Structure 1
Amino acid sequence: MRAYYFDNVPGDQRLPHDSGKSVLLEKLSALGVHYWSIPVSPSGEPDEEAVDRIARERDYKNRDVIDVSRQGLGAAYESKIKMFFEEHMHEDEEIRYILAGSGFFDVREHPTDNWIRIAMHPGDMIVLPAGIYHRFTLDEADRIRAMRLFKDEPKWTPYNRGHETDANPIRGEYLRAIGVGA
């Protein structure tokens, strides 16, 4: 995992868009983002023991695996990639453990509202807190295979950024948790 400020230069969202300004893990942690490095086997198999330990600690009860690629998503590929890159939040944590491929999660820094880009590769596990504005895109390799973990039944309803979402109680809880207020 490598984090840095997004350069905001127009162009393909799958490019690195690296401003050259790195972001430390402590900054991500202050935003409520959690990170683990959990090795993946050469064949792309997860370290089930490590994942199970984290799942117990954080009360994750369900999981699945998604292949975000042209092959994996078929006819829905273009619409899904567009949807994933819309700035949004969820009312639940978003947990991803990268098994193969690579991609980017972008999260909003507060109070600046700058984008922080997080480059993810096999073995990276990230938890985005409920209420954080974020987006996702593949990189130029155009494929990622990830395990998704859930506290309860799988939910990933996106709430696109706007006045109504800014007023969402989960968004307010998130802002209070990071010390920004609501």
Structure 2
Amino acid sequence: MRAFYFDNIPGDQRLPHDSGIPVSDELLKSIGVLHWHIPASQQDQINAIAEERHCNNRDIVSVTKEGLGDAYEATLKIFYDEHMHEKEEIRYVLEGSGFFDVREHSSDVWIRCYLTAGDLFILPAGIYHRFTLDENDMIKAMRIFWDEPKWIHVHRDSSTDVNPIRVNYLKALGVN
């Protein structure tokens, strides 16, 4: 995985938008974002991380133009809409690639994380983020869940800033 500050230049969201300013693993950890590169042959490492986080459910999701058909553009729009989840989000990229953008809490700027096959990515509950494919228009990922697989996002607005999950996320970072 490679992380860098988003350049904020208007244009296709699937372009890299690389500002040329890298983001360190330490900074990502400071906002609760964790990642590993795990070859597909090392499923035991993925299983260990899932078990450590008390996750016992998984599914596979493929996001492609062919697979989504007429819903492709609308689905990408939903994924790219800034949101948070009330549960931790865990993804393991099996094939393809894409971008997860996360908000740096202190500055509210976007950090772009480029994920490719073998990357396992964990976002804490309460972090503002968004997702888009890159120009290859394809990703196949394993979603790892606690309960039954489901994807519920909470769109960012004034009510999410006071959402207890968001408040707890900020408290965990030391923000009052």
Q: TM-score range by the shorter chain?
A: over 0.9
Written as runs of structure 1 = structure 2, the 5 A alignment for 1:1-182 is: 1-40=1-40, 47-181=42-176
* 1:41-84 alpha-carbon deviations (Å, 9 max, x no partner): 5xxxxx32221111111111100010011122222211110000
1:106–1:136: 8 Å Cα contact kept in structure 2? yes
Name the amino acid aligned to 1:54.
I
1:40–1:123: 8 Å Cα contact kept in structure 2? yes
RMSD: 1.0
Pick which of 87-96 and 146-155 moved more: 146-155
1:103–1:136: 8 Å Cα contact kept in structure 2? yes
- Give the fraction of aligned pairs with identical amino acids, expressed as a percent: 60
Structure 2 unmatched runs, 5+: none
* 1:79-125 alpha-carbon deviations (Å, 9 max, x no partner): 11000000000000111100110000000002100000000000000
CA displacement at 1:157 relative to structure 2: 1.0
Name the amino acid aligned to 1:36.
W
Task: Calculate the TM-score normalised by the size of structure 1.
Answer: 0.94
SS where residue 59 of structure 2 aligns?
strand
In 1, Cα distance between equivalents of 2:86 and 2:38: 26
Name the amino acid aligned to 1:52.
N
Q: How many residues align?
A: 176
Task: Calculate the TM-score normalised by the size of structure 2.
Answer: 0.97
Q: Which runs of 4+ in 1 moved over 6 A?
A: none
SS where residue 73 of structure 1 aligns?
helix
In 2, Cα distance between equivalents of 1:73 and 1:176: 38
